[in-house]
Amino acid sequence: MPEPVEILDACSLLSLYASQHLEPVLRSRKPQCCIVDRVYKESLYIRKHIEETSELDYEPVSLNPFLESGLIKLLFLETEEEKNLFIELAANLDDGESATIALAIERQMNIVTEDRKAIRIFNERKSANVCTTTLDLIKEWQKKEGIDRKTIQTVLKNIVEFGSYKPGRNHHLFDWWNEMIRIK
Cα–Cα distance measured from residue 14 to residue 162, given in angstroms and rounded to the nearest whole number = 9
Domain boundaries, the chain: 6-134
pLDDT tens for each residue of 12-47? 999 999 999 999 999 998 878 999 999 999 999 998
pLDDT level of residue 55 (50, 70, 90 thresholds): confident
Considering only residues 54 and 80, tell me which one the structure prediction assigns the higher pLDDT. 80
According to the model, what pLDDT value does residue 1 have?
46
CATH number of 6-134, picked from 1.20.1600.10, 3.40.50.300, 3.40.50.720, 3.40.50.1010: 3.40.50.1010
The model carries a pTM of: 0.92
pLDDT attached to residue 40: 96
With a cut of 60, say whether residue 96 has pLDDT above it.
Answer: yes
* CA-wise closest residue to 5 among 118, 133, 105: 105
Mean pLDDT of 77-91: 97
What are the distances in angstroms from CA 130 to CA 39, 123, 124, 127, 160? 19, 8, 12, 9, 25
Tens digit of each residue's pLDDT (9 = 90 or more) over 119-139? 999 999 866 688 999 999 999
Per-residue model confidence as pLDDT tens digits over 142-155: 999 999 999 999 99
Please report the pLDDT score of residue 48 as a whole number: 85
Q: Which residues contact 140 (CB under 8 A, 6 or more apart)?
A: 28, 29
Question: What secondary structure does DSSP assign to the chain, as a single string?
Answer: -PPPPEEE-HHHHHHHHHTT-HHHHHHT-SSPEEEEHHHHHH--EEEEEETTTTEEEEEE---HHHHHTTSEEEE---SHHHHHHHHHHTTTS-HHHHHHHHHHHHTT-EEE---HHHHHHHHHH-SS--EE-HHHHHHHHHHHHT--HHHHHHHHHHHHHHH-----TTSTTHHHHHHHHT--
Sign of the alpha-carbon torsion through 98, 105, 24, 135: positive
**Statement: residue 68 has pLDDT above 90:** yes
